[in-house]
Structure 1
Amino acid sequence: MSFATTPPILITGGSGTLGLAFKRVCRIRGLHTITLDRAALDIADEAAIARALGRYQPWAVVNAAGYVRVDEAEADADRCYRENTTGPGLLAAACAARGVQLLTFSSDLVFDGQQATPYREDSAPQALSVYGHSKLLAEQTVLTQLPTALVVRTSAFFSAWDEHNFVYHALTAARRGEAFEAADDLLISPTYVPDLVNVSLDLLLDRAYGLWHLANAGTYTWAELARLALRLAGLDEACVVPRPAASMGWAARRPRYSVLGSVHGTLLPSVESGLHRHLQDERLLALANPPAILVG
């Protein structure tokens, strides 16, 4: 069967980190996709959703769109809730009406950090920030509208495929010989984006549903993550300047502990494995895109 006659996976938020990663991985895996950026599909516009689903007739929607600026959300709550709560809810309702599968993403920031052991899908959420609350409301709305939806909570992305992540900035600072400040009192579950995308796709193809936690195995502070990345890259860890989160000037409160565990077991490999592959990806991208040589 050719792509021309195969129902696609419709990917929203196609210009963001997750959207681009899904497009890349689906191409590698031979999965037919239609990728729409914010300009092509506003997920908080009910009529726009109906037009897109009617035009492309997808068997599944991967919602990679959303408001991602955690600190700015504190002063931009209306937009954050529109993109993170209203949009996924409208997608879920439209998918329910058409019998379409839905995969959407949530965050470790739905938790308040009072726990001292990894949060599982059955742990009680309590968000501390506008962003976290917008994600928590989205989970509830989506699963009410579409109980067969797949809602993946994840945390602390890193990937060499774009520049919008902590590990990329830590490596860049070290290579420039610059100091890199990182919080040393917040414990997180870093997540290598290609692992997240591949396992999420596996779950979608298997028709999994409900809440799932996906993060690489391992618990780190942000400062520890930066030092590990630099050590594996052969760079000087001394450029990492550990600081308490309270001194970072963040507008949004973060949980002191937001490590993700799962009732489903460990589905992603270790953080260290992800970092090794991040560095391999960097080398492959550098070979594919060598710097221009100026002549004359």
Structure 2
Amino acid sequence: MHSASFSAGNSSLTSPPLLITGCHGTLGRAFRRVCHLRGLEAVCLDRAALDIADAAAIARALDCYQPWAVINAAGYVRVDEAETDLARCYRENTIGAALLAQACATRRLQLLTFSTDLVFDGAQPQPYQETDRARALNIYGHSKLRAEQAVLARLPAALVVRTSAFFSAWDAHNFVHHVLAATRAGQPFAAADDLIISPTYVPDLVNTALDLLLDEERGIWHLTNDGTCTWAELARYAVRAAGLDAAGIEARPAAAFGWAAARPANSALRSRQGMLLPGLESGLQRYLLDERLLQSPNPPAALTG
């Protein structure tokens, strides 16, 4: 199997580990890093090692590693491509999550899986809470909504975390990285000024989701940093926090981007359980600090996240 296993100070597993899917994705990498920093034994598997839409592959992995819980960080994330790649999107997001839930239910294992703000249609003016009616506008959002329903039907004790617009210095696959890279290069950067979101700093998300899993929480939880804004506002916040000139940020309506997938005008999230993550400004400041640390000649093992 293609995998990475680790524990604090010991490369061999001495107790039942966490099993993390999606080893090479943003969340998978973040969970791997956070588990290492927190001294939690874990096995992180890539798609070659564990195809989550293959029940036999799931059974082999669970029987091999005997985890105490599974974190599903795998899935299809290309929102616009999903509109014409339906089969793969539903296979990876819905079928895979459902099969993991069934396998965990059979073995009485905990499961943490992730969903999205795009399960909502944006019709209400206020941020969405966990109990608000979900109705997705696009294929990606619908695949995640169906996954939520399938997971909780098979494993009511599962923890389903909805999150939104996440960013991290730990990889380059996020909006904040792209806006800062463009601004530093003296290039303009266009962003939607009519879509309201709740940006989320990945280390905050991962640490809090892991805390909830350790506490055996269940059901749907909304985890984002405290604060809402448009994409254009997020771009300006990030640029100004970095001490750069925001004059190159071009605010445009979403319709100007020609996206294949419809986006909700408002997909901001709040939680009925309270906002467990710190504010957006704090997340951006720690992003910038981690960015500087990672670019230093000898980056430390433990970053600020």
- Interval of TM-score (by shorter of Structure 1 and Structure 2): over 0.9
Q: CA–CA distance in 1 between the matches of 2:64 and 2:202?
A: 29
Select which of 170, 174, 179 maps to 1:170: 179
* Aligned-pair CA distance for 1:4: 2.9
Matching residue of 1:68 = 77
CA offset digits 1:169-190 (Å, max 9, x no partner): 0000000000101000000000
Q: 1:67-146, aligned counterparts within 5 Å?
A: 67-146=76-155
1:267 aligns with 2:276: yes
Partner of residue 281, structure 1: 290
Q: Tell me the matched-pair count.
A: 290
Aligned to 2:303: none
SS in 2 for 1:287: coil
- For residue 60 of structure 2, what is the amino acid of its counterpart? R
Residue type at the aligned position of 2:77? V
Task: Provide the residue aligned with 1:203 in structure 2.
Answer: 212
Paired amino acid for 1:180 = F
The letter for the 2-side match of 1:104 is T
Distance, in Å, in 1 between the alignment partners of 2:248 and 2:157 is 47
Provide the residue aligned with 1:50 in structure 2: 59
| Aligned residue type for 2:193 | D
Amino acid at match of 1:274: G
SS of residue in 1 equivalent to 2:295: helix
- Structural RMSD (CA): 1.2
The alpha carbon displacement at 1:40 in A equals 1.0
Per-residue displacement from partner, 1:60-99 (whole Å, max 9, x unpaired)?
Answer: 0000000000000000000000000000000000000001
* Cα shift at 1:125: 0.2
Return the letter of the residue paired with 1:5: T
Structure 1 residue 118, shift from structure 2 partner: 1.1
Instruction: State the secondary structure of the residue aligned to 2:102.
Output: helix
> By how many angstroms is 1:221 displaced?
0.3
Ranges in structure 1 where 5+ consecutive residues have no aligned partner:
291-296
SS of the residue 2:20 aligns to: strand
| Corresponding residue number in structure 2 for 1:38 | 47
Matched ranges for 1:139-288 at <5 A: 139-288=148-297
**AA at the equivalent of 1:105:** F
TM-score (norm 2): 0.94
1:26 aligns with 2:35: yes
Identity in percent: 68
Partner of 1:4, secondary structure, is: coil
Distance 2:226 2:199 in 1: 8
1:39 Cα shift? 1.2
Distance 1:131 1:9 in 2: 27
CA separation in 1, counterparts of 2:180 and 2:35?
A: 28
| Residue of structure 2 equivalent to 1:5 | 14
Aligned AA (1:136): L
Amino acid corresponding to residue 31 of structure 1 in structure 2: L
Question: Quick one: which amino acid aligns to residue 113 of structure 2?
Answer: T
* Deviation per residue, 1:9-41 (Å, 9 max, x gap): 000001000000000000000000000011111
